[in-house]
Amino acid sequence: MLELKGLCKAYDRRVGLALIPFYLERIENLNQDLANPENTPKEEDFLKNMLDNIQRDLDFEEKQVKDDAQKIYDLWQEIVNLRKKNPDGYANTMYDLKVHKGDLGDDVLFQLKKKGTQDHPDPVLKRKANVQKTPALCRLLIDGKVVAETRKVAIDWPSYEINILDQFSIHMFTLPGNVQLEIVINGKTIDVIELEIPGAHVKTLTSASRMVKEYGFSSI
- One digit per residue, the tens of pLDDT, for the chain of length 220 reads 667 777 777 777 777 666 778 888 889 988 998 888 888 889 889 989 999 998 998 888 888 888 888 888 888 788 777 777 765 555 555 666 666 665 555 556 666 666 654 555 566 677 778 888 888 999 999 999 999 999 998 888 777 788 888 887 788 788 888 999 999 998 899 889 888 887 666 655 545 555 556 666 655 4
pLDDT for residue 220: 44
pLDDT for residue 146: 93
Domain count, the chain: 2
94 and 147 co-located in one domain: no
User: Measured between alpha carbons, how far is 62 from 128 in angstroms, rounded to an integer?
Assistant: 41
User: Measured between alpha carbons, how far is 91 from 71 in angstroms, rounded to an integer?
Assistant: 23
82 and 16 co-located in one domain: yes
pLDDT for residue 155: 84
151 and 87 co-located in one domain: no
pLDDT for residue 142: 93
pLDDT for residue 65: 82
Domain limits for position 146: 121-220
User: Measured between alpha carbons, how far is 158 from 162 in angstroms, rounded to an integer?
Assistant: 11
110 and 32 co-located in one domain: yes
Closest by CA position to 79, among listed 159, 178, 1: 1
Residue type, 38: E
Half-sphere exposure of 178 (CA within 13 A, CB side): 11
110 and 6 co-located in one domain: yes
CA distances in angstroms from 181 to 158, 209, 217, listed in the order given: 24, 20, 10
Q: Give the domain-ending residue among 69, 84, 114.
A: 114
Quote the DSSP letter at residue 92.
G
Q: Give the domain-ending residue among 97, 114, 131.
A: 114
Q: Give the domain-ending residue among 98, 114, 130.
A: 114
Q: Are 64 and 14 in contact (CB under 8 A)?
A: yes
CA distances in angstroms from 84 to 39, 81, 90, 118, 166, listed in the order given: 63, 5, 9, 20, 40
Closest by CA position to 218, among listed 189, 179, 178, 186: 189
102 and 140 co-located in one domain: no
pLDDT for residue 69: 82
| Nearest-5° Cα angle at 58, 57 to 64 | 90
Start-end of H helices in the chain:
2-17, 20-34, 41-85, 122-132
